A and B are shown apart, each in its own frame.
Chain A
Amino acid sequence: MRPFVYEQPTDISAAVALASNFTTRDDQPTRANTQFIAGGTNLADHMKLGVAEPNRLLDLNRLEEQKLRHIRVTEDGIRFGALVRMGEAADHREVKERYPVIAESLRLAASGQIRNMASLAGNVLQRTRCEYFRETSWACNKRVPGSGCAAMDGFNRQHAVLGGSDACIATYHGDFAQALIALDAVVLTEGSRGARKIPFAKLHRQPGDTPHIETDLAADEIITAIEVPALPWGRRSLYLKIRDRESYAFALASAAVALDLDGETVREARIALGGVATVPWRASAAEEILQGKKLDDASAGAAADAAFAEAQPRQHNAFKIELGKRTLVRALLETRDMKV
Chain B
Amino acid sequence: MDAAAPRPKENQGEPLPRVDARLKVTGQAHYPADLPAANIAYGALATSSIARGKVTKLRLDDARAVPGLLDIVTYGDMDKVDKPKFGNSGATSIGPLHDRTIFHDGQIIALAVAETFEAAEEAAQLIRAEYEEDRPTASFDSPGTKTVAAAGKSPMFKEDVKAGDFDAAFAAAAVKIDQRYSTPTQHHNPIELFSTTAYWQGDQLVVHEPSQNVTGWKVELARQLKMDPANVRIVSPFIGGAFGSKGPMTPRTAIVAVAAKRLGRPVRCVTSRMQAFGTQTYRAETRHRIRIGAGKDGRITAFAHEGWEVTSRPDLYVVGGTSATGRMYGYGSVLTHVSLVQADRNTPGYMRSPPETPYVYALENAMDEMAVALGMDPVEFRRINEPKTEPIGKKPFSSRSLIQCYDQAAEAFGWARRDPKIGAMRDGDWLIGMGCATAIYPTAVAPCAARVRLTVDGDVRLQCGSHEIGTGVRTVAGQMASERLGVAIDKISVEMGDSSLPPAPVSGGSISTASVCSAVLKACDAIRTKLFAAATAEGGPLAGSHNEEFELADGKIVAKSGASTKVEDVLKAMQVGAIEEYAEFAPKGATPEALKKLYAGTPEFHGGEQDEDSVKYAFGAEFVEVRINRYTKEIRVPRIVGAFAAGRIMNTRTARSQLMGGMIWGIGQALHEATEVDRRYARYVNRDLQDYLVPVNADIKDLQVILVPEIDHAVNPAGVKGLGELGNVGTAAAVASAVYHATGKRIRDLPIRIEQLLA
Residues of chain A at the chain B interface (Cβ within 8 Å): 1-3, 50, 129, 131-132, 134-137, 150, 153-155, 157-158, 242-249, 252-253, 319, 322-323, 326-327, 329-330
Contacts and interface: CB of A to CB of B under 8 A. Distances in A.
Given A1-B118, A155-B685, A249 B629 contact: no
A137 B696 contact: no
A329 B759 CA distance: 18
A157 B697 CA distance: 24
Contacts of B122: 1-2
Contacts of A153: 680
A136 B687 CA distance: 13
29 contacts: A1-B118, A1-B121, A1-B122, A3-B67, A50-B125, A129-B690, A131-B676, A131-B686, A131-B687, A136-B125, A154-B680, A155-B676, A155-B685, A155-B686, A157-B676, A158-B691, A242-B634, A244-B634, A244-B753, A245-B693, A245-B695, A252-B754, A322-B758, A323-B755, A326-B631, A326-B633, A327-B631, A329-B631, A330-B429
Contacts of B680: 153-154
Contacts of B759: 319
A318 B28 CA distance: 49
A2 B121 CA distance: 9
Interface in B647-688: 671-672, 676-678, 680, 685-688
Nearest to A150: B678
Contact of A319 (B629, B686, B698, B758): B758
B97 to A, nearest CB: 20
A242 B754 contact: yes
A330 B693 contact: no
Contacts of A3: 67, 118
B118 A330 contact: no
A134 B274 CA distance: 11
A132 B685 contact: yes
B632 A154 contact: no
A2 B634 CA distance: 42
A247 B634 contact: no
Interface in B696-731: 696-699
Given A131-B686, A244-B671, A247-B696, A154 B678 contact: yes
Interface residues of B, number: 37
A277 B695 CA distance: 26
A3 B698 CA distance: 38
B754 A319 contact: yes
Contact of A323 (B678, B690, B697, B758): B758
Contact of A249 (B633, B693, B753): B693
Given A249-B693, A319-B759, 16 more contacts: A1-B118, A3-B118, A131-B685, A131-B686, A131-B687, A137-B49, A243-B634, A244-B634, A244-B672, A245-B671, A246-B696, A247-B697, A248-B698, A323-B755, A323-B758, A326-B758
B632 A327 contact: yes
A249 B121 CA distance: 28
Nearest to A111: B696
Given A137-B49, A155-B678, A330 B631 contact: yes
A330 B629 contact: yes
B105 to A, nearest CB: 9
B697 A245 contact: no
Smallest CB-CB A-B distances: 3 pairs: A319-B755, A137-B49, A247-B698
B672 A323 contact: no
A209 to B, nearest CB: 24
B636 interface: yes
Given A244-B693, A245-B693, A323 B632 contact: yes
A140 to B, nearest CB: 13
Contact of B632 (A150, A158, A249, A326): A326
Residue from B122, B685, B687, B758 having most chain A Cβ neighbours under 10 A: B685
A129 B685 CA distance: 12
Interface of A is mostly: loop
B669 to A, nearest CB: 13
Given A1-B121, A135-B274, A154-B685, A129 B699 contact: no
A158 B697 CA distance: 23
Contacts of A253: 632
Contacts of A242: 632, 634, 754
Residue from A153, A249, A253 having most chain B Cβ neighbours under 10 A: A249
A329 B629 CA distance: 13
B670 to A, nearest CB: 12
A129 B754 contact: no
B146 to A, nearest CB: 24
Given A154-B678, A154-B685, A131 B634 contact: no
Given A252-B754, A322-B758, A131 B696 contact: no
Contact of A330 (B49, B632, B671, B695): B632
Given A2-B122, A155-B678, A245-B693, A135 B687 contact: yes
A248 B690 CA distance: 9
Interface string B747-759: 0000001110011
A150 B685 CA distance: 11
Contacts of A252: 754
Contacts of B698: 245-248
A306 B680 CA distance: 35
Nearest to A49: B274
A22 B5 CA distance: 61
Contacts of A1: 118, 121-122
A327 B122 CA distance: 43
B625 to A, nearest CB: 15
A258 to B, nearest CB: 20
Interface string B106-139: 0000000000001001100100000000000000
Residue from A136, A245, A322, A327 having most chain B Cβ neighbours under 10 A: A245
A308 to B, nearest CB: 14
B754 A323 contact: yes
A252 B687 CA distance: 19
Residue from A132, A247, A329 having most chain B Cβ neighbours under 10 A: A247
B755 to A, nearest CB: 4
A155 B686 CA distance: 9
B691 A247 contact: no
A155 B683 CA distance: 11
A298 to B, nearest CB: 14
Given A1-B122, A323-B754, A129 B691 contact: yes
Contacts of B633: 323, 326
Contacts of B699: 245-247
Contact of B754 (A136, A244, A248, A330): A244
B751 to A, nearest CB: 8
Nearest to B688: A134
B664 to A, nearest CB: 12
Contacts of A50: 125
A29 to B, nearest CB: 23
B181 to A, nearest CB: 21
Contacts of B696: 245-248
A9 to B, nearest CB: 25
Nearest to A153: B680
A90 B759 CA distance: 35
B687 A245 contact: no
A331 B758 CA distance: 17
A2 B695 CA distance: 34
Contacts of A2: 122
Residue from B67, B274, B429, B699 having most chain A Cβ neighbours under 10 A: B699
Contacts of A131: 676, 685-687, 691
A252 B153 CA distance: 42
Interface in B416-468: 429
Nearest to B689: A248
A22 B455 CA distance: 72
Contacts of B678: 150, 154-155
B752 to A, nearest CB: 10
B585 to A, nearest CB: 44
A252 B754 CA distance: 9
Nearest to A329: B631
Nearest to B67: A3
